[in-house]
Amino acid sequence: MNELPADDAAQALAEIQRRQQQVIDQATVPGWYWWSVGALMVVLAVGVDTRTPAALGGAVAVFVVGLLSATGFVVHSQFLQARLRNGLLDGRGVVAILGFVALIVGCTLGLAFGLRAAGVPYPATLACVVGGTAMGLGGAFLMRTLRRIMLGNRAGSTR
């Protein structure tokens, strides 16, 4: 085996960690994306609560175009630069993503139906304000969780 001073080996390992972290950070969905999706949810809900075909049609159009634009921008500017290796995100990551989606959708729908049953005006809008805020705050938390999982699964991880 090559006789390399331990200090040099440690520096090389630190460099490997730093470079792999760079790829993982590149593939992390930015915080603004989650807040955008949350805001678009509210726009859609306003259309639903207004109950006029024109408002609903406009809200659906804004929602679809906004979601496609935001997703397209993130995919184009980040994911196409470096596609993450399979295996970095293990079962825990998949559970975290599915759990996050299920929690947001379940809580938002449950709250909307509850408010509607209670006779509160604009139930979908109010529920989506709560759901959208949870999306913005939870999205950042989800990304931190996924990043931690991926850093733990990279080659040479000390965890």
Partner 1 sequence: MTAARFDDLIHPPTRLAIVSLLAASQWADFKFIRDSVGLSDSALSKQLATLEEAGYVEIRRIFVGKRPRTSARLTPTGRAAFEQHVAALQQMVAGSGLTIAPR
How far apart are CB 101 and partner 1 at their closest, in Å? 23
The token pair at 2 is: 């090559």
Pick 20 or 125: Cβ nearer partner 1:
20
DSSP code for 76: I
Q: Please give the helix or strand (H or E) that residue 107 lies within, else none.
A: helix 91-117
Between residue 92 and residue 151, which ones bind partner 1 under the rule CB under 8 A? 151
The token pair at 23 is: 């790829």
Phi/psi of residue 111, nearest 5 degrees: -65, -40
- Say how many residues touch partner 1, by CB under 8 A: 36
Pick 52 or 158: Cβ nearer partner 1:
158
Between residue 1 and residue 20, which ones bind partner 1 under the rule CB under 8 A? 1-2, 4, 6-7, 9-10, 12-20
Pick 25 or 110: Cβ nearer partner 1:
25
Q: Is 26 in the site for partner 1 (CB under 8 A)?
A: yes
Residues with Cβ < 8 Å from 17, sequence gap 6 or more? 154, 156, 157
The token pair at 65 is: 């175009």
**Residues 59 and 47: beta-carbon distance below 8 Å:** yes
The long-range contacts involving 6-15, CB below 8 angstroms and separated by at least 24 positions, are 13/156
Between residue 62 and residue 91, which ones bind partner 1 under the rule CB under 8 A? 80-86, 88
Pick 51 or 83: Cβ nearer partner 1:
83
How far apart are CB 33 and partner 1 at their closest, in Å? 19
- Contacts with partner 1, residue ranges (CB under 8 A): 1-2, 4, 6-7, 9-10, 12-24, 26, 80-86, 88, 151, 154-159
